[in-house]
Amino acid sequence: MSPQLGEHVLRLLDALDEPVSVGVAVRDRDQRILDFRLEFVNLAAARWAGVPRESMIGLITGELLSGIRASGFFDKLRSVVETGEPFFQSGALIDDQVIGGQPVSGVYDLGAIRLGDGYLSTWRRADVTPA
């Protein structure tokens, strides 16, 4: 991808109202995925987290969201990277807080696809209507 096209794609992702993040795998000597380092978050993701975008870039996901492993979402991201199979879950219950930011508890629709040796994920609050 040309640098100019890359800049256009990043501007396009910033224009979306839905939070988007890109993480790259952090691996051990045996190439097992230990965690993911955030390489990009769009403006909607920074608003969702309640922290400046710049403070999120470079963080390990486990540093940013302490409950990512307990929720099972880390395992889903690892599977996406290892298998290439996309992931989508509608109505996922999340109970977490962004380190230095705000609580992000609620019901979400989550999605992730493999991007190189990492992932691109999107999420949004699910439209939960009482029965």
At residue 129, does pLDDT exceed 60?
A: no
Q: Break the chain down into helix, strand, coil percent, rounded to 5.
A: 30, 35, 35
Q: Write down the pLDDT at residue 99.
A: 82
Here the contacts of 104-108 (C-beta below 8 Å, separation 24 or greater) are: 104/48, 104/49, 104/65
Hey, CA dihedral for 101, 118, 60, 106, is it positive or negative?
A: positive
pLDDT tens digit sequence for 62-120: 888 888 888 889 999 999 999 999 999 999 888 888 888 788 888 999 999 999 999 99
Strand pairing category for 118-125 and 87-94: unpaired
Pick one of 3.40.1620.10, 2.60.40.1930, 3.40.50.1220, 3.30.450.20 as the CATH number of 3-122.
Answer: 3.30.450.20
CA gap 82, 65 in Å, rounded:
21
Q: Write down the pLDDT at residue 112.
A: 97
Q: What is the mean pLDDT of residues 18-46?
A: 96
Hey, CA dihedral for 8, 36, 29, 116, is it positive or negative?
A: negative
Nearest to 94 by CA among 111, 112, 77, 72: 72
Domain boundaries, the chain: 3-122
Strands (DSSP E) along the chain, which ranges?
20-27, 33-41, 87-94, 106-115, 118-125
pTM, full prediction:
0.88
Q: Write down the pLDDT at residue 131.
A: 52
